[in-house]
């Protein structure tokens, strides 16, 4: 089915959606994005994603073209027009096109941002088989730039890492800096040891995951202990359980790291329970 895609103020059939070849995102990766999950036709943690979009824009002096209510209306219209039940809404804001290739950022107000938003249908998003089977990851050096806290469309290393993982017969990659895990290629990374959750603290080295924030809040409400600090691959391989979080994978168990089984090598009860709590709460609170 042809999707109805939002481009710069209007919904158009996907085959008619056009952006300039001089768009700075196309030439320089000069744009930011968000992915918001949809469950039962409703947006999961929309305000978290909007807050991070604003932060990404502010960090890069990119104008955020719309306020929260306008963004919400566009998201809802995209969901309605495309009959989306379960899946994701992808949005991208770029620094636009000044009609030529130029390294320098155009002066503020000189060049309107490009806005693109589309839906991706994933029936049964919350019943992903990976939640029951767990995923296997390989480790790779974290060769990304130094501002991984900004959600830019510059995803070459992430897509390369995921492709290398697939070529190695695994599902995903965990990235490692100075012997310590930063995060997954498109997720935050966690281990569980003796009932305590360990995940890297926020910094410029990782994306400040919206799912991470929600999961840590829910963990606190459940009186679970959380340590925010770096952990090594060896510590992860010796953990009781491990998992990732992201907007589209929610909470997903990791059962193997570089060929070494984590715990029993099967998804464990701790992570299964955390996922259940997270999905339950988010489904309830979706708007």
Residue of 191, 212, 262, 270 interacting with ligand PMP (CB under 6 A) = 212
Q: Which stretch binds ligand PMP (CB under 6 A): 60-68, 130-138, 206-214, 235-243?
A: 206-214
User: Dihedral (C-alpha) 78, 83, 85, 91: value to the nearest 10 degrees?
Assistant: -20
Candidates 91-99, 128-136, 209-217, 253-261: pick the segment binding ligand PMP (CB under 6 A).
Answer: 209-217
Confirm or reject binding of residue 210 to ligand PMP (CB under 6 A): yes
Q: Is 68 helix (H, G, I), strand (E, B) or coil?
A: helix
Contacting ligand PMP within 22-81 (CB under 6 A): 35
- Using alpha carbons, select from 237, 221, 226, 164 the residue that is nearest to residue 199: 226
Q: Which is nearer to ligand PMP, 42 or 212 (CB)?
A: 212
Applying CB under 6 A, among 89, 191, 207, 254 the residue interacting with ligand PMP is 207
CA contacts within 13 A on the Cβ side of 14: 11
* Cα 112-113-115 angle, rounded to 5 deg: 130
Which residues within the stretch 174-193 sit at the binding site for ligand PMP (CB under 6 A)?
Answer: 183, 186-188
Is residue 193 part of the annotated active site? The answer reads: no
Burial of 133 (0-12, 13-18, 19+ CB in 10 A): middle
CA–CA separation, 271 and 19 (whole Å): 42
Please pick, from the candidates 246, 252, 268, 270, the single residue that binds ligand PMP as defined by CB under 6 A. Answer: 246
| 234 C-beta neighbours (distance < 10 Å), count | 11
Taking the least distance from each CB to ligand PMP, the nearer of 105 and 160 is: 160
Least distance (Å) from ligand PMP to the CB of residue 205?
10
Residues in contact with ligand PMP by the rule CB under 6 A: 35, 183, 186-188, 207, 209-212, 245-247
């Amino acid at each position: 089915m042809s999707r109805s895609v939002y481009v710069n103020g209007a919904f158009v059939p996907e085959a008619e959606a056009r952006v300039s070849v001089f768009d700075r995102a196309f030439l320089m990766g000069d744009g930011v994005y968000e992915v918001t999950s949809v469950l039962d036709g409703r947006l999961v943690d929309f305000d978290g994603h909007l807050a991070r979009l604003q932060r990404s824009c502010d960090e890069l002096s990119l104008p955020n073209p719309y306020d929260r209510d306008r963004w919400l209306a566009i998201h809802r219209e995209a969901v309605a027009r495309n009959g989306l039940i379960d899946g994701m809404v992808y949005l991208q804001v770029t620094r636009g096109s000044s009609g030529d290739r130029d390294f320098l950022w155009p002066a503020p107000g000189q060049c309107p941002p490009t806005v693109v938003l589309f839906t991706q249908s994933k029936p049964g998003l919350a019943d992903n088989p990976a939640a029951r089977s767990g995923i296997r990851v390989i480790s790779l050096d974290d060769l990304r730039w130094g501002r991984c806290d900004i959600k830019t469309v510059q995803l070459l290393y992430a897509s390369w890492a995921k492709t290398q993982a697939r070529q190695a017969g695994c599902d995903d990659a965990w990235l490692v800096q100075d012997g310590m895990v930063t995060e997954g290629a498109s997720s935050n990374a966690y281990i569980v040891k003796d009932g305590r959750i360990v995940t890297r603290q926020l910094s410029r080295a990782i994306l400040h995951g919206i799912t991470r924030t929600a999961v840590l809040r829910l963990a606190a409400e459940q009186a679970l202990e959380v340590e925010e600090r770096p952990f090594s691959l060896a510590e992860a391989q010796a953990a009781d359980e491990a998992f990732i979080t992201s907007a589209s994978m929610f909470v997903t168990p990791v059962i193997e790291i570089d060929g070494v089984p984590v715990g029993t090598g099967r998804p464990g009860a701790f992570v299964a329970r955390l996922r259940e709590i997270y999905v339950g709460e988010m489904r309830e609170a979706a708007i």
